[in-house]
Amino acid sequence: MSRTLIILLALAACLEPYCSWGAAGADAFRRAAEQGDAKAQFSLGWCYSKGEGVAKDTQTAVAWYRKAAEQGDMAAQYALGACYFCGDGVGKDEAEAVNWYRKAADRGHLEAQGLLAMCYAYGCGVAEDKAEAARWYRKAAEQGNAGAQYSLGACYAAGTGVVRDEAEAMRWYRKAAEQGYALAREALKELQVK
């Protein structure tokens, strides 16, 4: 996987699937956010990042994400990490992105765990560490993330960060394939041909 793909995945991190709230929704979030409600702060940040009910302003989005993230909101921690990774509304800083991804990942945020694994696998914002990458892939894989299941399978197939184990590789590839992950289906075929 290339650095470019990791960057594209991080860009997608801020694309949480929300409904259209419009100006009334943004106003309601603002009132609650100004009272210190972390979920409302995150949601208002999202509104600013997408221009939903307010003028698009990524710097203001980052400010609201930060308020929520500092209160421990894992979705905001993840979104703030993505902003740092991509330089969206804030200076690009992969190390700071990893810091925020780790906070969210430690609290169980599935996507943050997967992106943190990739950061360790490819040395983005942190020293490359294949064993640590495999550890984070496992956390996301155990929560059902098909991409992480595939990546963990690949770790076992190649012995990258873990002891090489084809049976374990097949187990994780199968889990990903059962969710429709095409690369996992191909990897299973390749292992079965050996």
Q: Could you read off the pLDDT of 32-61 as tens digits, one per residue?
A: 999 999 999 999 999 999 998 899 999 999
% the chain with pLDDT above 70: 89
Q: Rounded to two decimals, what is the model's pTM?
A: 0.85
The verdict on residue 158 lying in a domain is yes
Residue where the block lists tokens 């200076």 = 91
Binning pLDDT at 50, 70 and 90, where does residue 21 land?
low
Reported as a single tens digit per residue, the pLDDT across 129-148 is 999 999 999 999 999 999 99
| CA–CA distance, 26 with 44 (Å, rounded to integer) | 6
For the chain, the domain total comes to 2
Residue 164 belongs to domain spanning: 129-194
Q: What is the mean pLDDT of the chain?
A: 89
Q: Which of 47, 81, 109 is the last residue of a domain?
A: 109
Cα 110 from chain centroid (whole Å) = 7
